[in-house]
């Protein structure tokens, strides 16, 4: 089965799904980053971590009024995946600190859509970078990876912009690892 790599990033009101809300989700095809998906969501709870919420720049009251319901968002995300992932290919969730982002996306897909089209396992860019380059975990910060890989983009805590940035890091790392294998 072929695989289609999808870079996904989320912004949340706190550290865990269920207790806190996914506030936005952004995604793009890793190898066609102009193919994108982005939504902002109504919060599912009023709980928030002040630091986490400050990083997002979102206002929970504004999102309550104007965000998309989680049900609408996850259906639209699933529809987008179906439209951009070729028949016979499996979507692979790619994230930077994938455990965090995937935990929210998985929770929201299961709770509000019934199934997670990505399945049960994400691909983590930080772990892949550590494995490919043999570095320490402390060296897997996005800023350090970006510098080492000569990335042109950077993240800014906007889910779509971060997803596109992560896609660039993944492509550059994959390219370098492929070249290293040939040498």
Catalytically active residues, by annotation: 157
Residues 6 or more apart whose CB falls under 8 angstroms from that of 137 comprise: 126, 130
Which residues make beta-bridge pairs with 8? 27
């Amino acid at each position: 089965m072929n695989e289609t790599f999808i870079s996904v990033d989320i912004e949340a009101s706190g550290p865990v799904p269920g207790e806190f809300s996914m506030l936005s989700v952004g995604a793009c095809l890793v190898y066609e980053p102009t193919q994108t998906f982005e939504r902002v969501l109504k919060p599912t709870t009023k709980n928030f971590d002040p630091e986490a919420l400050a990083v997002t720049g979102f206002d929970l009251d504004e999102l309550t009024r104007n965000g998309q319901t989680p049900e609408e968002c996850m259906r639209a995300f699933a529809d987008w995946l179906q439209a951009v992932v070729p028949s016979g290919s499996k979507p692979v969730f790619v994230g930077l600190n994938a455990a965090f982002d995937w935990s929210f996306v998985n929770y929201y897909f299961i709770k509000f859509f019934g199934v997670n089209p990505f399945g049960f396992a994400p691909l983590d860019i930080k772990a892949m970078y550590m494995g490919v380059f043999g570095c320490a975990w402390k060296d897997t910060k996005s800023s350090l990876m970006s510098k080492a890989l000569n990335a042109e983009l950077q993240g800014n805590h906007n889910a779509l912009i971060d997803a596109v940035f992560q896609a660039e890091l993944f492509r550059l790392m994959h390219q370098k690892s492929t070249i290293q294998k040939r040498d």
